[in-house]
Chains A and B, each alone.
Chain A
Amino acid sequence: MIPRFASLTALALFRSFFLIIALLTLDTTFNLGTSITWLCTAAVAGSLAGTFFPIYSTSFRTFFVVLLAPYLLAHLLLFLDSALVTHRTVLAPHALLLHMNAVYFVFTIASVSTWLFWRYAFTTTAEIVLIIVALVSLFSNHRDYNLVDLPLFMSTLAWQLGTDIPSLLIMISTVGILLLTAYLLLATSPHRPLLFGQTRLRINHYLAKTNRVMSFTICLVTALTLAAISRHVLHTYNIQLADRGSNGVGMSGKSDKEAVGSSPLGFHSALGSNNQPAALVRLEGDYLENPFSPMLYLREGALSGFDGREMVQAEDGFDSDVPFTDINEQYLSDEDFELRGRIPIEHSVYLLADHKKQFAIDYPVSITPVKNPAPDRFKGAYKAQSIAPAFDRSDLNISTTGDPRWSNETLQHYLTPHPDPRYKELAEDLTLGLLSPAEKGAAIVDHLNKNAIYTLTPNHNVDEKSDPVAPFLFGDLRGYCVHFAHATVYMLRSLGIPARVATGYLTDLSQARDGHILLRMSDRHAWAEMYLTGRGWIPYDTQPEQVESHADTQVDMQLLEELMGLVGPEEELFSKELLEDEPGLQEPAADYFPDADYIFYLLGFFLFLLCATKCYLRHGWRLYSDPGARLRMSYRGLVTRLQDLGVARFAGETRTEYSSRIEALMRYPTLESLTEWYNTFKYHGDRALPLSVEHIDKAYHKSLEQLTAQLTLGQRIKATLNPMSVVSFLTGEGI
């Protein structure tokens, strides 16, 4: 009993849908080089072939031969083409071979997997596991916000949907699980048609039931695991953002009062460093005078208090140059800085990740929240005006430190030394003979640059109460920015130079485009600052020569350009109509179609082969003069015609039974005499049947006349075009 055509087709197409999705993903990711249309067609054709072929033949051997035949034929064609045809380009046959292999590979995968699907229900589970593994390995490239990794469309897709990468991955996984569950339900349903006989059907139903439970369990476990991972991922990132995370430099999530006396810096490890976009900064004017070029410091916080263990945020009255304002608040500095060598710089900040406090180029004099140009993308936006450093670094060689307007208490606050005398000893050693504070600062920084190693995993064993910097500075000299900044500040203070630790972002302006800078979490930074009279707080930052681990320094330019488009006036200025038909603005689409000539030749060759085989089957008996061979071939000729009319011999049916069935169907004993002769000839040899060629021809023509007399013209045309008899012949099915 052949199951209903519609249900078979529906399942086959549903299966090919997964293959098409996989092919599209692979093509977008790796550029398969062969036309995706061809590959998808092969996937659909393979699924249908794997579904409908078993109706005609249950033998895998036959199925295998049918799969292999076109491949071999195509190779033969290519061989002939490269050997005989000289008018095309020399290497074109090789290119065609590559396309053909790709298409054939997809077709084989689709048909064999479908064939197995119909035969063994448990393959459904294997398929689902395979799909999940493939998806996880494909998308795992994007962990830690590696936006420039493959598949590239992820960042764009996330951007278009207005979400971040982890959320998008969770969304895709959820949709994937839903689809797989639907597939599983369909595939393991008791009503699912199976094509391999009643016995197998019963076994398969049993297996299907077991399998369904197994598959559901796998899906459930996968879903739960995914939920747990997503929870962990989001939780981790939230912790990193709010506390001590990325690069060891977190953001204070506490209220202002709670923040005093605490630090957002961590000493344990900076493994959370990742490429998560944090903010877009847009310089509104040139900053050619930047003394730290190409680096740019954007300060968010300052730690000038010392709690006996580490640097912490000081209470009100200190570090008044740092705004410490929430992102939606307005800030206006009422301080007269009286600083030389600075210029006004205006810049806008568009926050891509949650921030609690505003940050800006120092010294910010005003910060004003502005309208968020894309609320689904940016968490907030503000504009800052700063008086930025514009001095020459050689001008820092001045002898005095601190602000003359500071009280003694304030000065002492910035000079509070670390109680460990070794800091002073080392600082004095390093600065022996140097006079100016700037020179001393430079000597300390130089020492760390040359001797210390930058690593994200210093692995120092430090408890809650002991000094976390000593194992770094007096130990293995392995640490990250937090260690470097603290060590520098302690040494500067021990020399009587007011110093503090600043936190925020350090970015490389050479990665900027049109004054736009994409800050990432890995750009979060802590650095030391000293106060020079008349110059203000100046960064004394280390750039270690020995780097053991560092984040990717390259910014995702595609994302940057997309964000630039958002904060610029582009959307308002350029209508779609204006920009259409501009090839330069379209993404190049790679689609490789083989030459139309080749397709034509290939199809023509197959058609020729089909016709020649059919001709041989129908009229080949004329070629044989031996009565035995002529009888066999003429019998085949008639059976061929009957097969093409849709009346094939069933498996297990004898020739006599077949002949009787035909007689009942046609109301004439069409095959009777030829069947009888053929059986006698086959089982008793030609001596038992002394027939002449004329006898055979006469019987053949009579049978043929009887057969054709009952056929309409339409039926005859249909029979002529039907390739099933050729398929049966090529796959070695007997008559």
Chain B
Amino acid sequence: MRLLLSLLAFFLCVNTSSYAQNLFPDEIATTNDENESLPVEVLLEEAEQLFIEDRPLDARTKLLAVLKKDPENYRAHTLLSSYYLVHVGHFRLALKYIKKAMAVFKDERGPAPYTTLEDKLQHAHQLHLLSQARLNLDDYEGALSALEQYEKAGYYQDWYPGSKAWVLMKLGRLSDAIKVARLGLLSGGEQGRTLNILGILLSMTGDREQSLQVFKQAISYELSMGSMGQPATPLNNSGEVYREIFEEQNAEKFWSKAVTLPDGCEHILPSLNLAIVKLEKLDLKQASKSIDNFEACVAQYPLRNGEEHRALVHFARGRIALYAGQIDEAIDHFQKTLVRRQWFGKIGASVHDLSIAANLSLAESYDAKRNRLELSKTAGTLASVKSLWERNELQFKSWWLKRRARQILIEDLNDAEDVFVRHTDSVLDYSYLGYVFEEMDSKLVRKKIASIASKDKRSAAQVYYDSYLYLSGSSKSEKLSSLLQRTRPDYDAALQLRLLVHAAAETSRSSNNYRLLANKIFRLSPPALANAGLPLPVNLSTGDQNIEADLKKSAFLVSNSLKNEHIISHTFVDGEHTLKFFSRSGGGYKFTVRGGNFTDVINQLTHTVFRITLSS
């Protein structure tokens, strides 16, 4: 019966298209005046034809013309719902239209079950749209209810098991979801979609090896579908599993492949994941390029404005800007991330995942800005007072955001489940998480970390847990050198940076150890030093004795020593100060700034040295 229905649906669709093509072989009238003179049935057929011709705005105008003539036309409502769901991504409007369509349909044809094939197809399609609209609006219970009605009415199409398993997963019913997906694969469910969700479910239950096998099948299936296939999704998911098991080089391969495929920019996740893994390697330029490519790709779609991805794009850009020392840009991006609404129905992450990640990142940006202000020279009392006020304000904001993030982490994310390193779909910056626990009772932190670490069998993850204890000051037994030894040189670069910054902050600035740490940090990421409020030890070459005193409260620590890797030379000619920053070895960084006011010049040098320019 189900097969018969599917076949008939296929034929109906083909017949409708060919009918429309025969009926309107030439151009279809698209202006409102012309639409007014056409009967409803013709307008509906024309709208369907326009959708096929990829002219959705013209089709929308036709459908609105239908509703003007016949406000209770359920076909127009259904098509509009589909239009807003698929072409525009305006899920609220899609839901409104489908609700109206269903209400009108019920008034006209009575309640289900229906006897004619046409009614059955229409009703099944409406339930499908209803479940999709609800799912996209994060109403998982509602989506499941629509799917259950669909099943109860005896309808079946190959998308069904995948969709139901996904909704069950969003509701946290993992074992039910696995059953539905497995059953779906046996009963003719769409291979790509169902395998994909099964892979995700297996990964969530910790069976990552089998999950990778399933994704492999999904990728093969999607590739075999040619231009109809959507291999980017299972490729992205495979990458996520590889990242979870700390095989980032494989993850990178998969994501890089995913973003080059035609369907790779239908969603931001492959690009976002790629950017995050590049950030963990401190490869900022590649991270930035990944997001640039995504945005360039989205711009190809004329009706979408990328609003549904905007929050995540801002988030990624903010993190890149923060690492690059572009603090104001980072703050701007994170603020926009918090303001923009991101729908999570179609992706595994939840609104809380993004919320804590953005709150923490914004707090980190405020801290970085405050630290940088502390390293900036101020001219005059008023400027000093202003700077002091601003620093206190930033400190308060940062404290509040971290407090809020901790609340969400505990209350909305199941007792901080995201602390489990690289928890599925989390967008947290794991290298930063240790600082989040700073203000918590160390006994609680130890207890929590111990409970998570004991369940985590991944050896590469343990260094992260130990680092949290070290960074939060919850454990005195952890030693920097042993932690650094356990990190991997490439993919744990961000964690190494955090550990070094923390150690440098705890070390006396006059000590040799501080010099070593600061130079290491500078080599890894120059902005990180200024972001943490740590000055860079330098040798000063100048004929003016006052300059050394002027440099004291700046981002440079003058401590003339043969062990310093960097030198600042100062000259004052014709009322103009010139500061040159260069490496002792001659290579590496070389910057020169000039100006009449020494305070401005030194601030400009700080700005230049502790910032990475991303544009090539």
Binding site for B on A (CB under 8 A): 30-31, 33, 82, 89-95, 98, 148, 150, 152, 283-288, 293-294, 344, 346, 383, 385, 509-515, 554, 557, 561, 564-565, 568-570, 572-574, 578-579, 582-585, 588, 592
Contacts and interface: CB of A to CB of B under 8 A. Distances in A.
5 contacts: A285-B30, A383-B32, A510-B306, A568-B93, A578-B99
Interface of B: 30-32, 55-58, 60-61, 64, 67-68, 71, 77, 84, 88, 90-93, 95-96, 99-100, 103, 133-134, 136-139, 141-142, 299, 302-303, 305-307, 310, 336, 339-340, 351, 400, 403-404, 406-411, 414-416, 440-441, 443-444, 447-448, 451
B97 to A, nearest CB: 8
A592 B303 contact: no
A270 B68 CA distance: 44
Contacts of A514: 57, 60, 84, 88, 90, 93, 303
A554 B340 CA distance: 11
Given A286-B302, A293-B302, A95 B448 contact: no
A676 B30 CA distance: 106
Contact of A344 (B31, B56, B443): B31
A286 B95 contact: no
Given A91-B440, A557-B307, A582 B411 contact: no
Given A90-B444, A510-B299, A584 B406 contact: no
A344 B138 CA distance: 40
A92 B88 contact: no
B606 to A, nearest CB: 21
Contacts of A383: 32
Given A93-B441, A285-B57, A344-B31, A513 B307 contact: yes
A578 B305 contact: no
Given A509-B302, A573-B67, A584-B133, A592 B444 contact: no
Nearest to B94: A584
Contacts of B339: 148, 150, 152
Contacts of A584: 91-92, 95, 133-134, 136-139, 142
Secondary structure type dominating chain B contacts: helix
B96 A346 contact: no
A94 B419 CA distance: 15
Contact of A284 (B31, B93, B340): B31
A569 B411 contact: no
A82 B99 contact: no
A82 B443 contact: yes
B61 A561 contact: no
Given A90-B451, A92-B415, A152-B339, A570 B93 contact: yes
A714 B343 CA distance: 60
Most buried by A among B31, B57, B92, B95: B57
Contacts of B31: 284-285, 344, 346, 385
Nearest to B401: A30
A444 to B, nearest CB: 25
Nearest to A383: B32
Given A286-B57, A585-B95, 8 more contacts: A33-B404, A92-B410, A95-B407, A285-B30, A286-B55, A346-B31, A515-B60, A582-B142
Nearest to B416: A91
A569 B67 contact: yes
A554 B336 contact: yes
A573 B410 contact: no
Contacts of B410: 89, 91-92, 94-95
A45 B314 CA distance: 42
Given A510-B299, A570-B93, A346 B32 contact: yes
Contacts of B141: 583
Most buried by A among B134, B305, B411: B305
A383 B340 CA distance: 32
Contacts of B409: 91
A546 B136 CA distance: 40
Contact of B68 (A569, A574, A583): A569
A469 B153 CA distance: 73
Contact of A91 (B96, B142, B303, B415): B415
B150 to A, nearest CB: 18
Contact of B444 (A93, A564, A568): A93
Contact of B96 (A148, A286, A574): A574
3 residue pairs, one from A and one from B, having the closest CB atoms: A584-B137, A89-B415, A584-B139
A548 to B, nearest CB: 15
Most buried by A among B31, B302, B306: B302
B297 to A, nearest CB: 12
Contact of A585 (B92, B444, B447): B92
Given A554-B336, A578-B99, A510 B93 contact: no
B60 A82 contact: no
Contacts of B134: 582, 584
Contacts of A511: 305
B363 to A, nearest CB: 13
B415 A583 contact: no
Contacts of A30: 400
A90 B141 CA distance: 28
B448 A513 contact: no
A513 B441 contact: no
A696 to B, nearest CB: 48
Contact of A294 (B138, B299, B307, B441): B299
Given A286-B58, A572-B71, A592-B411, A513 B444 contact: no
Most buried by A among B58, B142, B306: B58
B100 A574 contact: yes
B534 to A, nearest CB: 29
Contacts of A286: 55-58, 302
B88 A513 contact: yes
Given A90-B451, A385-B31, A592 B407 contact: yes
B142 A561 contact: no
A568 B83 CA distance: 14
A481 B134 CA distance: 45
Contact of B411 (A95, A510, A564): A95
Nearest to A385: B31
Nearest to A595: B411
A288 B55 contact: yes
A94 B439 CA distance: 10
A152 to B, nearest CB: 7
Contact of A582 (B139, B306, B400, B440): B139
A346 B32 CA distance: 8
B30 A585 contact: no
A358 B441 CA distance: 65
B444 A94 contact: yes
Given A511-B305, A592-B411, A570 B90 contact: no
Given A283-B57, A509-B302, A583 B100 contact: no
A346 B409 CA distance: 50
B99 A90 contact: no
Contacts of A509: 302
A142 B99 CA distance: 37
A398 to B, nearest CB: 27
Contacts of A91: 409-410, 415-416, 440, 444, 448
A31 B408 CA distance: 11
Contacts of B77: 573
A515 B63 CA distance: 14
A515 B64 CA distance: 14
Contacts of A569: 64, 67-68, 71
A536 B67 CA distance: 38
